[in-house]
């Protein structure tokens, strides 16, 4: 058995059965081994940013890692933006990165680069396989490292000669550490803070699943505390029958207004709120001055257990949480408006949908509009690096093939990873992509004013608009095998979205704004 075969078999033994790939010469023995080993599903993408984003989406929905297969340092570098997003989402991923043969590296061939340094920016664990005898154990260790709370990327660098050399051994799974329990003194401190009134629970990560949310809903009902989460979250289970949570607004002034009345903030698996950017004359933190921030559970601690103990201390188990009723809005008609877009999507969203949301300015009303839609999962981008929604939709669709995926994609961000459409078509993935085509980086127009840079002139506007020529999303989709249509009013959107949701397979709808 060669090193590549042992690596694949060890990944399978540790529960990793999906690999998103864009290989090159140094990875050919891994590629060849796939024909000899059953059980590993490999999904090709035409750009490494799609590979890493898909692994992110898979990890968010599966709660276990997929593997990536990337070609040397440049291939890893092409995938770094979505590995950054995955790092901020704490998504488990195992990256396998090919490297030149060990004896070839001394000659500094053209594709040589410091792979471990490149990987280190967004990986919590990095190792270069040093021996064919240990490569199986390295793979098992990488899986365990990716799952170690709070989760993240682990990168294994595989020199080509170790991949092709015989004498490798398969390794079984490595035990993953349980989340650390919270000290009782912090539970008491959180209870004391909430008893004072004007408090809030700020939740993230695993606390945004239905069961922990319901428990926190009981604490909120008992104490009068508000339930909040950061602007950008990795995954929230929401909709009818579940407890709603309010996202802290992105815009600084709105965030300050929203948090103005909160005097005690209890963090459970969440960092304290922080504004995305610095602005002249504005604070970095949106909380009111004097707000007491209490950490109940750090990111890698057992927040659910801590919340349960907090509920017991507050005698909140019997309090009734506020569960959202099912209430679809009526279908609107007429010209495209942002409230109208939100209403159409809320009215037609199927039960158990997975929403990959990179709608940015076009979708700011969507979260509020869909809180009473049928139960669903909502994925957004904690890392803020654009080009994430379509790749993440791929991973989510592969992780949950029995669920419809709705991808909400702004046109500017979508062009970063437009190759994702080809993978959707090749794998026949059940993804409906809505492209909000306003032909601009609309959010940056607002940011230009927010940072005090003044009104844009012609040159500045040219950096913020993506018309001249207009991007034809229907042609882009059809050229990659995805059926597509264009709508210019709410009636057309309702008609095309209903039809797309009623079929299986990929579809794209371009919404001309």
- The pLDDT assigned to 456 comes to 85
The DSSP 8-state label assigned to residue 507 in this structure reads E
Q: With cut-offs at 50, 70 and 90, classify the pLDDT of residue 364.
A: confident
- The pLDDT assigned to 471 comes to 96
DSSP H or E run through 97 = strand 93-99
Task: Give how far the C-alpha of residue 339 lies from the chain's centroid of Cα atoms, to the nearest Å.
Answer: 25
For residue 156, what is the domain's CATH number? 3.40.50.970
Tokens for 335?
């010209």
Q: Within this chain, do residues 296 and 360 fall inside the same structural domain, yes or no?
A: no
pLDDT tens sequence across 94-143? 999 999 999 999 999 999 999 999 999 999 999 999 999 999 999 999 99
Tokens for 386?
């654009």
Q: Where are the beta strands (DSSP E) in 387-513?
A: 405-410, 431-437, 484-487, 507-512
pLDDT above 90 (res 244): yes
Q: Within this chain, do residues 293 and 379 fall inside the same structural domain, yes or no?
A: no
Q: Within this chain, do residues 303 and 356 fall inside the same structural domain, yes or no?
A: no
pLDDT tens sequence across 379-425? 999 999 999 999 999 999 999 999 999 999 999 999 999 999 999 99
> Which range among 267-281, 334-348, 431-445, 451-465 shows the weakest confidence by mean pLDDT?
451-465
pLDDT above 90 (res 449): no
Q: Within this chain, do residues 506 and 428 fall inside the same structural domain, yes or no?
A: yes
- The pLDDT assigned to 84 comes to 98
Residue 325 lies in a domain: no
pLDDT above 90 (res 458): no
Residue 170 lies in a domain: no
pLDDT tens sequence across 19-40? 999 999 999 999 999 999 999 9
Taking alpha carbons only, the member of 66, 63, 67 closest to residue 89 is 63
- Per the omega criterion (within 30 degrees of 0), is the bond before 185 cis? no
Task: Give how far the C-alpha of residue 39 lies from the chain's centroid of Cα atoms, to the nearest Å.
Answer: 26
Q: What's the domain range around 193?
A: 184-313
- The pLDDT assigned to 441 comes to 82
| Dist CA 267 CA 202 (whole Å) | 5
| Dist CA 8 CA 34 (whole Å) | 8
pLDDT above 90 (res 451): no
Q: Within this chain, do residues 254 and 401 fall inside the same structural domain, yes or no?
A: no
* Domain termination site, one of 120, 135, 164: 164
- The pLDDT assigned to 156 comes to 98
pLDDT tens sequence across 261-318? 999 999 999 999 999 999 999 999 999 999 999 999 999 999 999 999 999 999 999 9
- The pLDDT assigned to 233 comes to 93
For residue 297, what is the domain's CATH number? 3.40.50.1220
| Dist CA 329 CA 344 (whole Å) | 8
For the chain, how long is the longest CA-to-CA vector? 70
Q: With cut-offs at 50, 70 and 90, classify the pLDDT of residue 361.
A: confident
- The pLDDT assigned to 466 comes to 86
- Total domains in the chain come to 3
- The pLDDT assigned to 448 comes to 84
The residue-averaged pLDDT of 435-463 equals: 85
Q: Within this chain, do residues 276 and 195 fall inside the same structural domain, yes or no?
A: yes
Q: Within this chain, do residues 286 and 149 fall inside the same structural domain, yes or no?
A: no
Residue 424 lies in a domain: yes
Percentage above 90 pLDDT, the chain: 92
Residue 396 lies in a domain: yes
Q: Within this chain, do residues 239 and 377 fall inside the same structural domain, yes or no?
A: no
- The pLDDT assigned to 247 comes to 94
Q: Within this chain, do residues 214 and 307 fall inside the same structural domain, yes or no?
A: yes
Residue 298 lies in a domain: yes
Concatenating the DSSP letter of every residue in 150-219 gives T--EEEEEEEHHHHH-B------PPPPPPPBPPPHHHHHHHHHHHHTSSEEEEE-GGGGSHHHHHHHHHH
| Dist CA 317 CA 399 (whole Å) | 34
* Domain termination site, one of 297, 313, 329: 313
The residue-averaged pLDDT of 162-169 equals: 97
> Could you tell me the CA-to-CA distances from 97 to 62, 123, 174, 357, 403 in Å, in that order?
22, 12, 21, 29, 31
321 forms bridges with which residues in the sheet? none
- The pLDDT assigned to 223 comes to 98
Residue 332 lies in a domain: no
Residue 322 lies in a domain: no
Mean pLDDT, all residues of the chain: 96
The residue-averaged pLDDT of 160-176 equals: 96
- Strand 236-238 and strand 431-437: pairing? unpaired
Q: With cut-offs at 50, 70 and 90, classify the pLDDT of residue 452.
A: confident
Side-chain-facing half-sphere of 42: CA atoms under 13 Å: 17
pLDDT above 90 (res 464): no
Q: With cut-offs at 50, 70 and 90, classify the pLDDT of residue 445.
A: confident
* Domain termination site, one of 164, 197, 218: 164
- The count of other CB atoms within 10 Å of the CB of residue 244 is 18
| Dist CA 151 CA 156 (whole Å) | 16
pLDDT above 90 (res 439): no
The residue-averaged pLDDT of 216-241 equals: 97
| Residues contacting residue 313 through CB under 8 Å, at least 6 positions apart | 187, 188, 191
Q: Within this chain, do residues 157 and 259 fall inside the same structural domain, yes or no?
A: no
Q: Within this chain, do residues 282 and 208 fall inside the same structural domain, yes or no?
A: yes
> Which range among 1-10, 317-326, 362-371, 399-408 shows the weakest confidence by mean pLDDT?
362-371
| Dist CA 418 CA 466 (whole Å) | 15
| Dist CA 274 CA 30 (whole Å) | 43
The residue-averaged pLDDT of 50-68 equals: 98
pLDDT tens sequence across 62-85? 999 999 999 999 999 999 999 999
Q: Within this chain, do residues 189 and 250 fall inside the same structural domain, yes or no?
A: yes
- Burial status of residue 335 (CB atoms within 10 A of its CB: 0-12, 13-18, 19 or more): exposed
Residue 200 lies in a domain: yes
354-379 per-residue burial string, b: 16 or more CB within 10 A, e: under 16: bbbbbbbbbbbbbbebbbbbbbbbbb
């Amino acid at each position: 058995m060669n090193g590549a075969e042992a690596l694949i078999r060890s990944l399978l033994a540790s529960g990793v059965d999906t690999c998103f790939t864009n290989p090159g010469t140094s990875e050919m023995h891994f590629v060849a081994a796939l024909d000899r080993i059953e059980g590993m599903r490999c999904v090709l993408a035409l750009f490494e940013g799609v590979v890493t984003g898909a692994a992110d989406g898979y990890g968010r929905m599966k709660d276990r890692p997929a593997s990536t297969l990337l070609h040397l340092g440049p291939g890893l570098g092409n995938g770094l933006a979505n590995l950054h997003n995955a790092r901020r989402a704490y998504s488990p991923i195992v990256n396998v990165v090919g490297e030149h043969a060990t004896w070839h590296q001394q000659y500094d061939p053209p594709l040589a680069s410091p792979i471990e340094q490149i990987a280190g920016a967004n990986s919590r664990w990095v190792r270069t396989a040093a021996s064919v005898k240990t490569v199986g154990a390295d793979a098992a260790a990488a899986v365990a490292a990716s799952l170690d709370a709070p989760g993240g990327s682990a990168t294994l660098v595989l020199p080509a000669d170790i991949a092709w050399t015989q004498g490798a051994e398969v390794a079984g799974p490595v035990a993953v550490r349980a989340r650390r329990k919270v000290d009782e003194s912090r539970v008491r401190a959180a209870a004391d803070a909430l008893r004072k009134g004007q408090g809030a629970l700020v939740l993230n990560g695993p606390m945004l699943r239905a069961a922990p949310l319901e428990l926190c809903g009981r604490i909120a009902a008992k104490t009068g505390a508000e339930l909040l989460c950061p602007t950008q979250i990795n995954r929230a289970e929401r909709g009818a029958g579940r407890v709603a949570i309010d996202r802290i607004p992105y815009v600084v002034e709105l965030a300050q207004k929203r948090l103005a009345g909160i005097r005690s903030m209890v963090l459970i698996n969440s960092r304290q709120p922080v504004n995305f950017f610095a602005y002249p004359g504005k604070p970095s933190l949106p909380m009111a001055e004097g707000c007491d921030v209490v950490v109940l559970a750090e990111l890698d601690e057992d927040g659910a257990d801590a919340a349960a103990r907090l509920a017991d201390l507050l005698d909140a188990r019997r309090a009734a949480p506020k569960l959202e009723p099912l209430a679809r809005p009526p279908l609107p008609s007429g010209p495209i408006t942002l409230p109208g877009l939100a209403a159409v999507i809320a009215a037609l969203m199927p039960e158990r949908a997975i929403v990959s949301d990179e709608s940015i300015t076009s979708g700011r009303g969507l979260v509020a509009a869909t809180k009473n839609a049928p139960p669903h999962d909502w994925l957004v981008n904690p890392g803020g690096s654009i080009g994430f929604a379509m790749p993440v939709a791929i991973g989510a669709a592969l992780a949950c093939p029995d669920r419809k995926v709705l991808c909400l994609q702004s046109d500017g961000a979508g062009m970063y990873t437009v190759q994702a459409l080809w993978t959707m078509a090749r794998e026949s993935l059940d993804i409906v992509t809505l492209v909000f085509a306003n032909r601009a980086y609309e959010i940056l127009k607002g940011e230009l004013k927010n940072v005090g840079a003044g009104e844009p002139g012609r040159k500045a506007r040219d950096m913020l608009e993506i018309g001249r020529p207009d991007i034809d999303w229907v042609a882009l989709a059809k050229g990659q095998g995805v059926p597509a249509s264009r709508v210019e009013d709410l009636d057309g959107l309702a008609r095309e979205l209903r039809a797309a949701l009623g079929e299986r397979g990929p579809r794209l709808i371009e919404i001309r704004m």
